[in-house]
Amino acid sequence: MAGASACITAYIVNMLGILSLWLYAAVLVLSFPVFIIGLFLWWMAEEGKEDIPFIGY
């Protein structure tokens, strides 16, 4: 939610001319990945129990 809010707020503020293009880009670079992973965490099936993967013979 925070990532999406930051992306949308930055977009609106940039459209209004308050936020410079480079600052807008910086906000997007930081918030877009958070938005994507946050979205996936929100709709994923469930959080499973941690396991030990194959770590060699």
Residues near another protein (CB under 8 A) are: 7-8, 11, 14, 21, 24-25, 28-30, 32-34, 36-37, 39-41, 43-56
CB of 12 to another protein, least distance (A): 11
How far is the C-alpha of 56 from the C-alpha of 21, rounded, in Å?
49
CB of 48 to another protein, least distance (A): 4
CB of 17 to another protein, least distance (A): 15
Q: Which helix (H) or strand (E) holds 24?
A: helix 21-43
How far is the C-alpha of 32 from the C-alpha of 14, rounded, in Å?
16
